[in-house]
Structure 1
């Protein structure tokens, strides 16, 4: 259902409020540059700082502006099962193609708790789910056996995973345990090349916010099994992948976007603050290396 370069979109702010005009321009630019789907309200979208009304408005605007040109995977995760369900039901009503649902953070549920959480969502919402495992942020790790069990119980709901565990062996675990139709999307830009080689079909990307055309070309080269071109593009993007995390994300990403476009502000919401001088220098160097500045 999903493949290629899929940016986890930043949420632009201006004077503390959601900058809808900049977001609409960002959506258009991403689609024009070849992004194959869009993710609003993911981690990079600072979803944890949005009110529910803002969260829903960002998703609504993304779907409206995309206007069916690419599918929208709406960020619907929460550490509260009922709030995740609220996001999913709203996204379904707005026309999202699927929900990206992160493992509940802060609560530290067991694997049984994760099974119960995701099963409840599958039983009470009508939107396909792309699981999102990022234990570095959530503390909780969505283990391969739990992913496989969810896909076995609800094969029409759990259609794929964004895996940011950093464990490349899981691509094979999921492929062998579920099958090749289960969509595996990398959640770590710098690992996208070996992830795809192991059976992945794309990346939900931070870097694609800033370099959508290069990321789309890289994913197309991977899909075509063109290893030489994949490596060339990966080498161009590699410093930028790491620069995006020189400071708390999406600080470096928003700084990079403000360098590339004059219509987007380098503004975050507390407790996040603009990135450090060291991170800015790394971003500037990486942008030059990639030919973006």
Structure 2
């Protein structure tokens, strides 16, 4: 169902710190025009942790309104309370979203059995397709391959976004799950290798500002044009890395503002603006990847 370049969309805000409607519309059109396979909204990159419940609903409504069915929308619905995650997930039933991305419960540090029961309970209380999200650096808990195997047997758990950056994981998981179970990289720097080893695509931060190139990269891999994919990935590598020179989404928002994809790079505390010294570093990474503006549209060429 989901493969190729899927963007982990930023949540644009105006200078008052409010959700910026016009920037959202611009971003959606940019990704539709670039051929992005799907949009993940309200994920880590989307600053879901600092949005109110009302804002999360508003953001999803905006995305669905502006996308007009032209691109699938995946919404982040995870929580560290199982009951809360179920409630959030159910609130998107019949909304038009294509699937939910559910992060491992953070801070609690549950056991593997606790993780299994958490995701099973969510899946049993919704008809929406569920994509697991494993990002131990952020959550403090690691969803192990054997638990992924158990969860993959639940009908509406259709895949996983694996963001450890550990390429051994893709090999381990692929051996344990059915062929149609979707494996998505959550790490741009290793996404090419991830796909070579059997992954279906990437949920990409880089795609926020280099959407066309990420689409092309995934397409080249899918068509077996590995050498061309490696050359393109090499051109993007500095950008992949420098977009994490400070905690995500600080650098990516600054970069999107430089390319006029959004009106402001405003973030909410405790996230702060990109430091001056790192602005020049990210700017150089944009140049290395040939990211620039052409008639108001961000264009990345190889």
TM range (shorter): over 0.9
**How far apart are 1:82 and its partner, in Å?**
2.1
Determine whether 1:196 maps to 2:195: yes
Deviation, structure 1 residue 277? 2.0
How many residues of Structure 1 are paired with residues of Structure 2 in the alignment? 291
Whether the aligned pair in 1 keeps the contact of 2:9 and 2:208 (CA below 8 Å) is: yes
SS in structure 1 opposite 2:84? helix
Q: Secondary structure at the match of 2:41?
A: coil
Deviation at 1:87, TM superposition (A): 2.1
Instruction: Map residues 1-293 of structure 1 onto 2, 5 A cutoff.
Output: 1-14=1-14, 15-152=16-153, 154=154, 156-261=155-260, 263-293=262-292
Please say if residues 27 and 262 of structure 2, whose CA atoms lie closer than 8 Å, have aligned partners that are also in contact.
Answer: no
Shift of residue 262 of structure 1?
A: 6.1
Instruction: Give CA deviations for 1:139-172 in whole Å, capped at 9, x if unaligned.
Output: 10001011100112x1x21111100012211112
- TM superposition score normalised by structure 1: 0.97
Could you tell me whether the CA contact under 8 Å between 2:27 and 2:261 is conserved in 1?
Answer: no
TM-score (norm 2): 0.94
**Cα shift at 1:190:** 0.3
3-state SS of paired residue (1:28): helix
Structure 1: 5+ residue runs without aligned partners?
A: none
Distance 1:84 1:95 in 2: 18
Does the 8 Å contact 1:244/1:253 carry over to 2?
Answer: yes
List alignment gaps of at least 5 residues for structure 2: 293-302
Distance 1:278 1:193 in 2: 29
User: Is the CA contact (8 Å cut-off) linking 1:56 and 1:87 kept in structure 2?
Assistant: no
Q: Distance in 2 between matches of 1:61 and 1:276?
A: 31
Give yes or no for contact 1:42–1:75 (8 Å, CA) kept in 2. yes
State whether residues 89 and 125 of structure 1, in contact with CA within 8 Å, keep that contact through their aligned partners in structure 2. Answer: yes
Q: CA RMSD in A?
A: 1.1
What is the distance in 2 between the residues matched to 1:212 and 1:265? 19
Which whole-Å CA distance do the structure 2 matches of 1:271 and 1:215 have between them? Answer: 30
Cα separation, partners in 2 of 1:98 and 1:262, compared to 1, 3 Å: closer
Richer in helix (by share):
1
Instruction: Name the SS for the 1:282 alignment partner.
Output: helix
